[in-house]
Amino acid sequence: MGELDARHVDSLPTSSSSRPSVTIGSSLIPIINKLQDILAQAGSELDVSLPQVAVVGSQSSGKSSVLEALVGRDFLPRGCDICTRRPLVLMLENRLPKPDDDRTEWGEFRHLPEKRFYDFSEIRAEIQAETEREAGLNKGVSDKQIRLKITSPNVLNMTLVDLPGITKVPVGDQPNDIEARIRKMVMTHISQQNCIILAVTPANSDLATSDALQMAREADPAGFRTIGVITKLDIMDRGTDARSFLLGKVIPLKLGYVGVVNRSQEDINKNCGIATALAYEDKFFNDHPVYRGLSDNCGIPQLARKLNEILEQHIRMVFPALKADLNSKMGTVLKELQTYGKPIESKMEQGVILLNILTQYCEAFAAMVDGKSQEMSTKELSGGARIHYILQSIFVKCLEEVDPCDDLSDDDIRMAIQNASGARNALFVPEVPFEFLVRRQIARLLDPSLQCLQFVYDELMKISHACEVTELQRFPVLRKHLDEVMVKFLRDGVEPAERMIGNLIEMEVDYINTSHPNFLGGNKAAELAMQLLKSPQGSRPQPNNENHVSSGTKAWIPSLFGSRTSARESMACRPFGEPSHSESMPSIIHLREALEKVDFDVSSQTSSLGTDASIGLPRIPMTSAHLHMTAG
């Protein structure tokens, strides 16, 4: 362990009765300070608890006075209200003055690198400004740290965290739960096992009701990490003293207690310096009949020495485990770093890598659609096989299983014929009701077709997200933009696909093909009716060809949805994928959802979409719609 020159110790704040001969921790504590800076830049991703001292106390308990006395400078915001509204990480570094350098003390903020503050009043102003930037101009609080490093020959090496004082009643723009928020912030720091708790309690209050000691006991039930500091010993009631508190007879702590004397607000207003306050404190303890014999437990110099020793010993104890933890995390980070490849220097290299990433992404996407992916699943359908399953086993089968005359009764047909006849009796069956009813049934094909389009679109989105190119892990922003481009590309393909599906339905609605050989015309219907009348006992003849015609007539439109008017309106008005509803339309049959794992008939996968043999109405060529959509 490196040690300071003994002659320099005389410049440290000490009392006449007790003065440390050497300073401890001049090598380990600065290393921990450097780790603090490094981990602060890494953010919360690396969960590493470093040894430090957290200062806890209620509002106006004297925390700021203790910290300023340890530094030997006025640099903290002061006032009667809450002053510390953000955690202040104070790293003290002891450095011997150089012979040719008049400036031996300065401060450096981590949010203002390369800038030194030699005027400590400017440090106070910067703390206030940085607090207001994050926590607002009033009395709000924030858990975002302010990191300040003070280099001076008059300090001992240590790291202190000044936490907001515990308050009870919200003021200013503080929320109603300000006490709970501050307590949570304090507990987050002091609950770490490598944190030494500096519990500050004023002597003019009951130690048993101290907020600082209460929270310290919650975080450190055994009291192994807690140091008690009793402030304002000079303003206790006459005839009372804190001897039993300092000796740990009231609330025992393994690390003990230290009593100090603070500057009063009047001293601060009169610009009474730290040196004058330390001299007054030294005289107070030397002249007091009770505290005169407790020199090891009284005074700022003793507190500084004790904190330095405890922190150094604590670092020695936890350093092996800390080193192992850091090496383990470093190994993990190095492995991740290797996956990112070599650094990219020139614009040309960036362009080549970008082109390779996009090429690999396109190849991976095409391989999943074509079933040529190297990471083929044996547990569930994926990629192009899943799209084929949606088209064949969900879309086609659902249409084939639905009665084409659903919601079309004999009364509907009779009423349509009568309405088409007008005021006269019809000698022949008019074509108008036939075309009207057929158009209405054909138009019902629109909704299931759009549902199928939605299913295919969802599967393409899943394929897009599943295309993991290794190089994309290096560039998370590129991955995000690539996803955004793919979403836009597929969404742009949906609109023309919807339009094409609607046009196909409209073409079928506009022309009813009654010339198809399987169409059951009026003559054939009359012939079948006569045969039915002439057959014995009214039984219906079942010739092979006519049975084929009859059965084919029932199967020519497997699933029927909507009406012609509603179909056009749904295309023009409703959002993509939203099913239409109307009380005047026939009942709607929705396509069943595609399950993640499916058992399917292999023979069904070999069927293809084509022209129905019963009436010549082409089924909706969803494969063409899909190709048109993906082509954009």
Residue 600 scores a pLDDT above 50: no
Report pLDDT for 26.
Answer: 56
Residue 620 scores a pLDDT above 80: no
Report pLDDT for 308.
Answer: 87
Q: Sheet holding 116-117: strands in order across?
A: 116-117, 106-109, 146-152, 88-94, 158-162, 52-57, 195-202, 226-231, 257-259
Report pLDDT for 595.
Answer: 61
Encoded amino acid at 558, one letter: P
Place of tokens 């070999």: 606
Residue 50 scores a pLDDT above 90: no
DSSP 229: E
Quick one: tokens of 163?
């936490």
Rg (CA), the chain: 42
Angle CA 566–572–578, to nearest 5: 70
Q: Compute the distance between CA of residue 172 and CA of residue 83 in angstroms, rounded to an integer.
A: 13
Q: Compute the distance between CA of residue 23 and CA of residue 293 in angstroms, rounded to an integer.
A: 24
Per-position b or e across 518-557, b if 16+ CB within 10 A of its CB:
ebbeeeeeeebeeeeeeeeeeeeeeeeebeebeebbebbb
Residue 184 scores a pLDDT above 50: yes
Number of C-beta neighbours around residue 93 at 10 A: 18
Report pLDDT for 125.
Answer: 92
Residue 193 scores a pLDDT above 80: yes
Q: Which helix (H) or strand (E) holds 461?
A: helix 446-466
Residue of 380, 442, 359 whose CA lies nearest to 598? 380
Residue 21 scores a pLDDT above 60: no
Angle CA 211–161–256, to nearest 5: 55
* Three-state DSSP class for residue 399: helix
Annotate 51-75 with DSSP letters as a single string: -EEEEEEBTTSSHHHHHHHHHTS--
Q: Which of 1-15, 65-79, 219-233, 600-614 has the highest mean pLDDT?
A: 219-233
Q: Spell out the residues 6+ positions from residue 349 whose beta carbon is closer than 8 angstroms to its own.
A: none
Helix axes 476-510, 564-572, angle to 10 degrees: 150
Angle CA 178–54–10, to nearest 5: 140
Q: Residue 562: which pLDDT band, with cuts at 50, 70 and 90?
A: very low
Report pLDDT for 546.
Answer: 42
Report pLDDT for 614.
Answer: 34
Report pLDDT for 419.
Answer: 84
Residue 251 scores a pLDDT above 50: yes
Positive or negative CA dihedral for 225, 168, 66, 248? negative
Report pLDDT for 123.
Answer: 93
Higher pLDDT, 545 or 305: 305
Q: Residue 23: which pLDDT band, with cuts at 50, 70 and 90?
A: very low
Residue of 171, 165, 160, 86 whose CA lies nearest to 129? 86
Report pLDDT for 180.
Answer: 86
Strand partners, 258: 229
Polymer length of the chain: 632
Phi, psi at residue 503, to the nearest 5°?
-65, -40
Q: pLDDT tens, 390-441? A: 888 888 888 887 777 777 777 888 888 888 877 777 677 777 888 788 888 8
Q: Compute the distance between CA of residue 166 and CA of residue 84 in angstroms, rounded to an integer.
A: 10
Q: pLDDT tens, 565-576? A: 333 344 344 444
Q: Residue 44: which pLDDT band, with cuts at 50, 70 and 90?
A: low
Q: Residue 1: which pLDDT band, with cuts at 50, 70 and 90?
A: very low
Q: Residue 255: which pLDDT band, with cuts at 50, 70 and 90?
A: very high
Mean pLDDT of 256-269: 85
Q: Residue 2: which pLDDT band, with cuts at 50, 70 and 90?
A: very low
* Three-state DSSP class for residue 147: strand
The pLDDT > 90 percentage for the chain reads 16
Report pLDDT for 107.
Answer: 93
Report pLDDT for 623.
Answer: 34
Report pLDDT for 606.
Answer: 36
Quick one: tokens of 207?
């130690």
Report pLDDT for 270.
Answer: 80
What is the tally of helices (H) and strands (E) in the chain? Answer: 21, 9
Report pLDDT for 373.
Answer: 75
Residue 525 scores a pLDDT above 80: no
The chain-wide mean pLDDT, for the chain, equals 76
Q: Compute the distance between CA of residue 596 and CA of residue 592 in angstroms, rounded to an integer.
A: 13
Report pLDDT for 560.
Answer: 31
The answer to whether residues 51 and 315 touch, using CB atoms and an 8 Å cutoff, is: yes
Report pLDDT for 172.
Answer: 66
Report pLDDT for 628.
Answer: 33
Lowest model confidence (mean pLDDT) among 18-22, 66-70, 99-103, 526-530? 18-22
Q: Residue 586: which pLDDT band, with cuts at 50, 70 and 90?
A: low
pTM above 0.85, yes or no: no
Quick one: tokens of 53?
């001292």
Q: Compute the distance between CA of residue 403 and CA of residue 388 in angstroms, rounded to an integer.
A: 24
Q: pLDDT tens, 111-143? A: 898 899 999 999 999 998 998 888 777 777 888
Report pLDDT for 420.
Answer: 80
Report pLDDT for 470.
Answer: 67
Report pLDDT for 602.
Answer: 37
Q: Residue 315: which pLDDT band, with cuts at 50, 70 and 90?
A: confident
Alpha-carbon distances of 607 from 123, 325, 381, 396, 604, rounded to whole Å: 79, 60, 18, 9, 6
Lowest model confidence (mean pLDDT) among 173-177, 284-288, 443-447, 613-617? 613-617
Domains by residue range for the chain, with CATH: 27-326 (3.40.50.300), 349-515 (1.20.120.1240)
